[in-house]
Amino acid sequence: MYYRQMGKIPHKRHTMFKKTDGSLFREQVMGTRGFSGTQSILYHHHMPTEVISSKLVGSYLPEYEEQQEIKHRHFFTSKIHREGDALKARTYLMGNQDLLIGTANVTEPMSSFYRNGEGDELLFIHYGSGKLETMFGTISYREGDYLIVPIGTIYRIIPNEQEMTKILFIESFSQITTPRRYRNEYGQLLEHSPFCERDIRGPETLDTIALKGEFEILTKSRGVISSHILGHHPFDVEGWDGYLYPFAFNIEDFEPITGRVHQPPPVHQTFEGNNFVVCSFVPRLFDYHPDAIPAPYYHSNVNSDELLYYVKGSFMSRNGVQEGSMTLHPGGIPHGPHPGKVEASIGKKETLELAVMIDTFHPLSIVEAVQDIEDPAYMYSWYK
């Protein structure tokens, strides 16, 4: 990320910053890696530690299948009918020690505030529009947006009225960043990166709310949710600066990398976390070698699990998938195009598919409850 400043801040950090009545703003340093990583400094009207009461809500970790057969799997997330605000509507589908993955049908604004104290969150907006309100300011979101929310950020999602927002989410237990190989030694995105800082949208407005009162913040940490009643509105920030803040990047701004022959999946990489990567498959021209086969070759994920979330368009290498389908191809066994798809791709000029891929370098476990939305025949769909 790059440096950004919003609102009013003092000339020097860790010095007095006075209000008009002579009292002090309260400085809060939010830093990663023991203050040696990215950080921002926020200036509050009230102490961010001013908690009236707290209580344990309970565990949020999902229950996984006891024994998981190694096979390709296909889930129809369109069959998930759970709705509510952006926290209550979350349905976990799979996860491991590095991240949790699921979808949410968001139909109402969050009445409480929320923060993840265990890692960053990625919220991909499959469809819908609204606002991501945070202590750093507000970001308007729309279809195709990736919303990256740093660890410890207090926020809430406000969908537009009479419009459902569907989210593919990742709850990471680490920081989510742009790919390291696309950044120079100063952190700037390089010329051959498929996107640049110009495509990244930080908070648009900082609306300071200095109200006193009782406001609930639901905090995830150590596998449980705790309720904290703050003695003032959590968006009481007068100003902030730094490199740590929420941002949006729309999948339409990802510029695909193409070649004379089929390019490997890493060219689609958009983000990375600890032991996982996120890739964007967008409409693109096919390979231009005269003998090129545009369909992907059969391959084995020897060291990773591959999850694909199908957003929209024509999925040229798969039969039977639909918008909102989620496929899992586990490490250790090969996968690739369905029968006839290789031959059908020859001579085609472009693909119009839109999908998000998550590759994990530790095996993913499947949540027990999602067996109800599974296509049991998917493993055998290559046999003819």
Instruction: Identify which of 273, 278, 334 has the alpha carbon closest to the alpha carbon of residue 301.
Output: 334
pLDDT digits (tens, 9 = 90+) for 200-231: 999 999 999 999 999 999 999 999 999 999 99
Average pLDDT over residues 166-174: 97
Give Cβ neighbours of residue 119 (< 8 Å, ≥ 6 apart): 99, 151, 171, 172, 173, 174, 175, 176, 273
- The CA distance from 282 to 375, in Å, is 25
Q: Is a pLDDT exceeding 90 seen at residue 35?
A: no
Lowest mean pLDDT of 144-153, 298-307, 360-369, name the range: 298-307
Q: pLDDT, tens digit, for every residue of 111-147?
A: 999 999 999 999 999 999 999 999 999 999 999 999 9
Element (H, E) at 342: helix 341-345
Distances (CA, A) of 371 to 40, 80, 251, 325: 42, 11, 30, 14
Three-state DSSP at 56 gives strand
pLDDT of residue 100: 98
pLDDT at 175: 96
Give the angle subtended at the CA of 79 by the CAs of 76 and 85, to the nearest 5°. 115
- Does 303 have pLDDT greater than 90? no
pLDDT band at 1 (very low <50, low <70, confident <90, very high): confident
Is 254-380 CATH 3.80.10.10?
Answer: no
- What the block records as the tokens of 322 is 């639909």
Residue 319 has pLDDT above 90, yes or no: no
**Closest C-alpha among 248, 115, 243 to residue 183:** 243
Angle formed at CA 337 by CA 331 and CA 341, multiple of 5 degrees: 180
What local confidence, expressed as pLDDT, does residue 87 receive?
A: 97
> Other CB atoms closer than 10 Å to residue 40's CB: what's the count?
22
Q: How far apart are CA 337 and CA 148, in angstroms?
A: 32
At 18, the pLDDT band (50, 70, 90 cuts) reads very high
Closest by CA to 105, choosing from 116, 93, 91, is 91
The C-alpha atoms of residue 189 and residue 206 are separated, in whole angstroms, by 26
The tokens describing 26, both together, are: 């309260």
Averaged pLDDT, 147-156:
98
Asked whether the CA dihedral 240, 241, 242, 247 is positive or negative, the reply is positive
pLDDT higher than threshold 90 for residue 67 = no
Given a cut of 90, is residue 63 above it in pLDDT?
yes
Q: Which helix (H) or strand (E) holds 349?
A: none
What is the value of pTM for the model shown? 0.96
For residues 144 and 252, what is the distance between their CA atoms, to the nearest angstrom? 7
Residue 300 has pLDDT above 90, yes or no: no
The answer to whether residues 213 and 222 touch, using CB atoms and an 8 Å cutoff, is no
Residue 199 has pLDDT above 90, yes or no: yes
Phi, psi of 251 (to 5 degrees): -60, -25
pLDDT category, 302, cuts 50, 70, 90? confident
pLDDT at residue 317 is higher than 80: no
CA nearest to 147, candidates 218, 235, 250, 277? 250
- Sequence-separated contacts (24+) of 54-60 with Cβ below 8 Å: 54/226, 54/227, 54/228, 54/229, 55/226, 55/227, 56/224, 56/225, 56/226, 56/227, 57/218, 57/224, 57/225, 57/226, 57/227, 58/224, 58/225, 59/223, 59/224, 59/225, 60/220, 60/223, 60/224, 60/225
* Per-residue pLDDT, 137: 98
Among all chains, which residue has been given the structure tokens 């703050």? 230
Task: Sketch the domain layout of the chain as residue ranges.
Answer: 254-380
Q: Read off the pLDDT band of 265 (50, 70, 90).
A: confident
Residue 316 has pLDDT above 80, yes or no: no
384: pLDDT strictly greater than 80: no
Exposure string for 293-329, b = 16+ CB within 10 A, e = fewer: bbbbeeeebeebbbbbbbbbeebbbbeebebbbbbbb
pLDDT band at 188 (very low <50, low <70, confident <90, very high): very high
pLDDT of residue 318 exceeding 90:
no
- Residues 6+ away with beta carbon under 8 Å from 363: 96, 305, 330, 331
68 pLDDT above the threshold of 90: no
